[in-house]
Structure formats: structure tokens, C-alpha cells
Homo-oligomer: A and B are copies of this chain.
């Protein structure tokens, strides 16, 4: 199929989906079709820029795409400032021939994990109407799950790529702290922010990685199968202690029992005071939001929801030493997690303690407990689909790797996903 045909069909599907799923905040039909035409010329001449040349991507609305608005999920309507330059990760995709379809719905300024956006409307989970797709990159998870793009970019400060990947049944990668440049990405929390891709499989993420981090040189990286049997795993043992739903715990325990490997070490989060580090991570975001958005908030307070203004106000009223203490707690939790990798290759946990839930339901406080620690540690982490609940809602498996291990993490995740498919575990619980 030509890129033009694919892109036209995708744009039509997006238009149809907006009423229900509401994944897009901005759609660039003309730019996408022009780019698709150019991709088709290259493909006809046998000169594709990469294996993704002519394929489609959509971008979370806190990542700059030249000529498109960057709203950060704030109430700009059609008045959001247009980005002058592509964020480097976007520029690299463009240089690989990727078609940029538009900008995606997100939780307001990425501070929250339901994507119940008060200005742009909820982004719905494509797998269940009225349910959250997770967040803050809810539009990214929903768009990939609904087939509205080949892959999407999101950002992940405490789990914002991996939680929507888990809730929407797709794969999502949060790189390590130095893994991918966050230039051109609106800052939420410098210490924790990362930008990462969501796609239908770990295989897609693995192929995307060298393009995103600028090491591809537009060459297709060699496919690589890793032997699971040689891997030393640390496996979360205390699922109940972190409030993991019973169906997810069962599937995870079943996986741990059957998974090949060169040793399973139990992983236990009892040293972590989740309530304390959650408040600490949140305070870092609240304080920084006062700096990032201070000018805009003074000029146009109506862009910000009352709830967000409240969070920012809370951050503004904290003292500098309180912020230091919060940063210390975040750092200590990260140090602890890195220590857990000393004698193993990867850590395994469920991605989120629950499946997607109705928007009407109270937001579970533990949504990001299992994901945020990887941000605090600066470690790369991936979520791949692990199974489906009795209700038919997906949940993810999180794999956390050592500093700088993105390539190995992606390779092992591909092998894991193949193993899950072969062993019928991807449809349990």
C-alpha cells in the first residue's frame, strides 16, 4: 500500500474516532499528505529513508513539532503557540521519513494519569468506552491501540508512557535519564522527565530506538533474539503489598513461575514508602510548574484548571528546604532501585496495579507506584502487554534495566513478548 493511501485512510479513521476516542488535539491533514507523497516518491525510487519511511506517527502535545501548536493540554483552544522547531526526537523521525499526523490529547500539563482533560475533553480508552486510557500520555496510548498511527511519542515523568501502554494493551518505552534528549519537550520535572515511544509491540520499539536516539544513521538495525534462559531476573514477590489487583497478581505469578532464566531473585518494595515518594515527586512537579508556566499563568490564568492552579499554589507556598527534602526522598528511592539491579539483569513487575477504570471512579492513588521508582532511579523501563482481566481489559508487564541498557532491554522485551505469545500467557487472568 502507498503511504498516501495509508495516510489518507488513517486520517479518515482519526476523523471518525474523534467523537468517541478524542485522541487528537490537532491534526495536520495537509502536512501529512504532502509528507506521504514525498515518501511514496522515495519508495518508488527504491530509496526509503528508513524502514519507517511513509509510516505514521502522532506526538503528545507537550513535545514540539515545528509549525504545530504545543498546548500541554492547557485550555488554549486554537490559540496555542506554534512551535518554531521540531524537538530533536521529532526531527529524527522526520529525517527517517515518518509522517507526523498531529498532536495528541494528554492529561493537563502531564500532571496526572487519567487524561480526563478539563479543556479538551476526556480521551477515551479505545477498548472500553467511558474508561480512562491512563495518562498522562493517554492520547498516545489510545491512538496506538485504536490504530490511528503506527506509533506515538509520549513523555514519562512517573509512569506517563507505561501506564497508558498498560491500560491500552500496547508497548511503551521510558528511556533512562540520559537515554533520549528531552530538548523541545515542555518540562514537568527535570529530575524525572523522559520522552519515549508507544507502539503495538516491543519489536516496533526496538526498531524505532536507533532512529530516536540518533544512532541509526538511517540503517535498519539487525534483528536480534535474546536467549531468555541466560537472564537473571528479580521478580516482584509482594504484589499484595503494593495493592496489585488479584487478577494481575495471578497472571504475574504464573509468568514468574514459568519464565525461563538463569535465576529468579525476589524483589520486595517494603523499603519504599510509596505515599512519601509520591508526595515528594508531586512536589517537585508542582514547584517546577510555577517556573515553567509562571508567565503564562499571569497572562492567561483561564488556561489552567482550578485543580491545577491549586497544585501550583501548593508548590509556590512550599519552602526551598522542603523542596530539597522532596528531592532527597526521590533520590533515595532511585538509589534503592538501582541497588536491586546489582546482581540481576532485569527487574520484573506488573506495570500498574490495576486495569483501566471508569472515569467516574475515584482515581487509585497507587497508579504510578510501580513505574515512578524507575524515573527516580533514571533507569530505562518498558511495558509490554501481559494479559487481560476477566473484564477483558489489558494489563502490562514492566521490565526495568540498568543504566544505559536500552538496547538490551528492548531485545529482551522482544524475546519476552514472543515467549508470552508462544506460551498463551498473553491472554490469561
Q: Is the CB of B324 within 8 A of A290?
A: yes
Produce 1/0 per residue, A312-323, CB < 8 A to B. 000111111111
A328 close to B (CB within 8 Å) = yes
Instruction: Give the A interface residue count (CB, 8 A).
Output: 22
Whether B287 and A321, one on each chain, are in contact in the complex, defined by CB atoms closer than 8 angstroms, is yes
* Complexed CA–CA distance, A291 and B325 (Å): 7
Q: Does A9 contact B (CB under 8 A)?
A: no
> A71 near B: Cβ within 8 Å?
no
Asked if A319 and B317 make an inter-chain contact with CB atoms under 8 angstroms apart, the answer reads: yes
Residue in B294, B316, B318, B324 whose beta carbon sits within 8 Å of that of A291 in the complex? B324
Measured CA separation A287–B323 after assembly (Å): 9
Closest Cβ neighbor of A288 among chain B residues: B324
Contact of A290 among B316, B318, B321, B331 (CB under 8 A): B321
**In the bound complex, CA of A190 to CA of B323 (Å):** 13
Is A173 positioned at the interface, with any CB of B under 8 Å from its CB? no
The CA of A154 and the CA of B61, in the complex, are separated in Å by: 47
Q: Count this chain's copies in the assembly.
A: 2
* Per-residue interface assignment for chain A, residues 89 to 125, with 1 indicating a CB less than 8 Å from any chain B CB and 0 otherwise: 0000000000000000000000000000000000000
User: Residue of B at shortest CB range from A318?
Assistant: B320
A283 is an interface residue with CB less than 8 A from chain B: yes
CA distance A108 to B287 in the complex (A): 30
Residues 303-353 of A at the B interface (beta carbon under 8 Å) = 315-325, 327-328, 331
* Residues from chain B with Cβ under 8 Å of A322 in the complex: 320
Known contacts A190-B331, A324-B290, A331-B190; decide if A318 and B319 are in contact (CB<8 Å).
yes
Q: Which residues of B contact A294 (CB under 8 A)?
A: 321
Q: How far is the CA of A319 from the CA of B287 in the complex (A)?
A: 9
Please name the residue on chain B nearest to A291 by beta carbon: B324
CA–CA, A331 to B187, complex, Å? Answer: 13
Docked CA distance A190–B335 (Å): 14
A92 to chain B, nearest CB (A): 19
What's the Cα separation between A286 and B323 when bound, in Å?
13
Residues of B within 8 A of A190 (CB): 327-328, 331
Q: How far is the CA of A117 from the CA of B117 in the complex (A)?
A: 56
Q: Which residue in chain B gives the minimum CB-CB distance to A317?
A: B319
Q: Mark A185-215, 1 if CB is under 8 A from B, else 0.
A: 0000010000000000000000000000000
Alpha-carbon separation in the docked complex, A290 to B328 (Å):
13
Other-chain contact of A320, B319, B328, B331 (Cβ < 8 Å) = B319
10 additional A-B residue pairs with CB within 8 Å, beyond A286-B320, A290-B320, A323-B324: A190-B327, A190-B328, A190-B331, A287-B320, A315-B321, A316-B319, A319-B319, A319-B320, A320-B320, A323-B323
In the assembled complex, 30 residue pairs joining A and B whose CB atoms fall closer than 8 Å, in A order, are A190-B327, A190-B328, A190-B331, A283-B320, A286-B320, A287-B320, A287-B321, A287-B323, A287-B324, A288-B321, A290-B321, A290-B324, A291-B325, A291-B328, A294-B321, A315-B320, A315-B321, A316-B319, A316-B320, A316-B321, A317-B319, A318-B319, A318-B320, A319-B319, A319-B320, A320-B320, A320-B322, A320-B323, A323-B323, A323-B324
Chain A contact residues, CB within 8 Å of chain B = 190, 283, 286-288, 290-291, 294, 315-325, 327-328, 331
Closest A-B pairs by Cβ, 6 of them? A287-B320, A290-B321, A320-B323, A318-B320, A291-B324, A323-B323
